[in-house]
Amino acid sequence: MRLFFWATALILMTSCQTREKDGFVAFLESHPAAKFDLLIRGGSLIDGTGSPAKIQDVLIDGEEIAFVGQVDTALVSVGRVIEATGKVVSPGFIDAHAHGELTRDAAFENFLAMGVTSISLGQDGSSLAVKDINEWYEQATQTVPGVNIIPMVGHGTLRKLAGAELKTDIPAAILDSMDALLRDALEKGGFGMSTGLEYIPGTFAGEAELLTLAKTVGSYDGIIMSHMRNEDDDALEASIRELLVQGQHCKVHAAHLKSVYGKGEARAERILEVLLDPSLPFPVSADVYPYTASYTGIGILFPDWAKAPNDYTKVKKERRAELLSFLRNKVEARNGPSATLLGTTPYTGKTLADLAEAQNRPFEEVLMDIGPTGASGAYFVMDEALQRKLLLHPAIMVSSDGSPTMNHPRGYGSFSRIIEEYVLSESLLSLEEAIRKMSSLPAATFGILDRGIIRQGMKADLLVFDPEALHTRAAFENPHQLTEGMDLVLVNGHPALEKGVFSSTRSGLMLRKKMTHANK
């Protein structure tokens, strides 16, 4: 019986190899020149779909993957061969929610070091403030980013451009102007609209305004990616339902999904039930980063009546006691002053508790003097068990919500941390599933048709790495430390990072959503 088993296995293996060779020969019939730029040979290929790894070669011609399978090197001429035996070959990772400025941060080395080859910018309702998105594309052409950029149109930016910034019930003419700007941006390649409903000016938007814009997003098969109105646990479900109402008209996505104050896996399950209700007749998705501290402006701790358009100086003078009481209660509810770590000069690296002790006065007075626009910080307000349960759900993708300059390790460590902790250390995800959540899942969510999977004809955004060699160095006390261990990062077929050395030339692109007749 054992002899029969091994004989059968050998026959099947030989048959498979023969078919692969025949497939390669057939491929060459349509490529008679048989000249290619790059061959990645012998790697454990994880294609991004969640399928098991296979030992396969990848042949690259210019920016594209020309062939995936067994390559007979005697039949081709290759500019360079990369030996990947014992290494993983995967699609480049796609960061569903990131931050950065092209003119300042164009290299985006923090993302490349993690294996991220595409990032989504224009998030939280804020994108480049231009009336013609082609100006943003032109900026990318001039600077040439190190990674690909997936542009989103910021809802708050639309409000500013149309003159609606701090208005609640905006006139029809202004809404028409916002809608026209949005439509033009989507027509020219934008992937959808982002909202920041917890921030100014997004907080002033009502349902009618959001639904009007959602219809336009839907008409271009775009997506709304939303920093929802309130992420506090007691308001989170209402915020999700507000987003789902917009989902009647377009795909909707909950950005950096979290529950402030919420605790435990059962709470996470309830949140997922509301957000990903299988009876919903439209696509819903979300992203999560693998840290339990958020990062944003200090204004999140202040009441609406202390922020624009209100006069903060007047509020401090006339409502001082009320403001101090609000700040004290708010911070205490968010795990106290030690859980707010400031990341802006001159407070960088100090908690509110540190500042209060140094100044020998209550932390709420320190915070009041900083003011709602005076700093940004990390807030340790999330529960590990709850956030982990969210991230593990098959429909949830990975993001960093980070940038090259943000004083938070998520911009330098989110993707490598998933592999180090969730895959290798705790075996919560298979490597194939982790890579799917970081490649094909975000690609499908955005509607990126030519990236996120290793397949013939797709763009050559690829990684070669040993998972055991990845090391996330970024930490809260020293966040701007690059991940180590990526052997090779290709962006559009060109090496961007190889054995710890970044290329002197960049090859990223500002992507345009490909529109078909069916979704125009």
500: which residues sit within 8 A by CB, 6+ positions away?
484
- Both tokens assigned to 262: 């919420």
Tell me where in the chain the CATH 3.20.20.140 domain(s) lie. 124-254
| 323-355: b (≥16 Cβ within 10 Å) or e | bbebbbeebeebeebebbbbbeeebeebbbbbb
CA distance linking residue 442 with residue 96, whole number of Å: 6
Crossing angle for the helix pair 155-162 and 207-219, nearest 10 degrees? 110
How far CA 474 is from CA of 93, 207, 340, 481, in Å, comes to 18, 40, 19, 5
Return all residues near 511 (Cβ < 8 A) that are at least 6 apart.
Answer: 118, 148, 149, 150, 151, 189, 191, 448
Residue 33 corresponds to which tokens in the numbers above? Answer: 């020149």
**Cβ–Cβ < 8 Å for 177, 218:** no
Per-residue confidence (pLDDT) for residue 12, from 0 to 100: 41
Q: Give just the sign of the alpha carbon dihedral 437, 224, 120, 260.
A: negative
Fold classified for 124-254: TIM Barrel (3.20.20)
pTM given for the model: 0.92
Residue 30: per-residue pLDDT: 86
Give the strands of the sheet with 340-342, arranged side by side. Answer: 293-297, 376-380, 340-342
- pLDDT of 17 reads 52
Compute the distance between CA of residue 447 and CA of residue 222 in angstroms, rounded to an integer: 8
For residue 512, the Cα-to-chain-centroid distance in whole angstroms is 17
The Cα–Cα gap between 179 and 383 comes to 39
- The beta strands (E) that lie in 267-423 are given as 284-288, 293-297, 340-342, 376-380, 396-398
Bridge partners (DSSP) of residue 253 are 225, 285
- Per-residue model confidence (pLDDT) at position 75: 94
| Residue 39 DSSP SS3 | strand
Amino acid residing at 225: M
pLDDT, tens digit only, all 520 positions of the chain: 444 444 444 444 444 555 566 688 889 988 888 899 999 999 999 999 999 999 999 999 999 999 999 999 999 999 999 999 999 999 999 999 999 999 999 999 999 999 999 999 999 999 999 999 999 999 999 999 999 999 999 999 999 999 998 989 899 999 999 999 999 999 999 999 999 999 999 999 999 999 999 999 999 999 999 999 999 999 999 999 999 999 999 999 999 999 999 999 999 999 999 999 999 999 999 999 999 999 999 999 999 999 989 999 999 999 999 999 999 999 999 999 999 999 999 999 999 999 999 999 999 999 999 999 999 999 999 999 999 999 999 999 999 999 999 999 999 999 999 999 999 999 999 999 999 999 999 999 999 999 999 999 999 999 999 999 999 999 998 999 999 999 999 999 999 999 999 999 999 999 999 875 344 4
Q: How many CB atoms within 10 Å of residue 405?
A: 15
Tokens encoding 487: 């052997």
| Sequence letter at residue 275 | L
314, amino acid identity: K
